Amino acid sequence: MGIEKVIVSEKTNCILETFGNVPYTDDEKISEVIATLNIENMELDNNDIEMLKAIKSGKISFDEARTEIMKEI
């Protein structure tokens, strides 16, 4: 399992990228995302975390998640 990185741009496009073969736990990955978003004065709440887990597990697609996020804006 590699490191997954979420990139959030001004248009709220998120890209999941995998780097190397470093075994990060899901909690470590979430902590990294929270730290990155905090730099931009953004927050990741429990609903967001659950959505990321749903995407990872295949319960919803990235496009479905993006549509839900855009409804909130």
Domain count, the chain: 1
Determine the average pLDDT of the residues in 29-52. 89
Instruction: For residue 3, give every residue at least 6 positions away whose Cβ sits within 8 Å of its Cβ, in sequence order, or none.
Output: 18, 19, 20, 22, 24, 29, 32
CB of 8 within 8 A of CB of 14? yes
SS3 3: strand
* pLDDT class of 8 with cuts at 50, 70, 90: low
Please tell me the predicted confidence (pLDDT) of residue 18: 55
| Domain that residue 25 falls in | 3-72
Band (pLDDT 50/70/90 cuts) for residue 28 is: confident
Is residue 52 exposed (0-12), middle (13-18) or buried (19+ Cβ within 10 Å)?
buried
Q: What is the pTM of this model?
A: 0.57
pLDDT of 2 strictly over 50: no
In the predicted model, is pLDDT for residue 55 greater than 80? Answer: yes
The DSSP secondary-structure symbol of 2 reads: -
1 and 24 Cβ atoms separated by less than 8 Å: yes
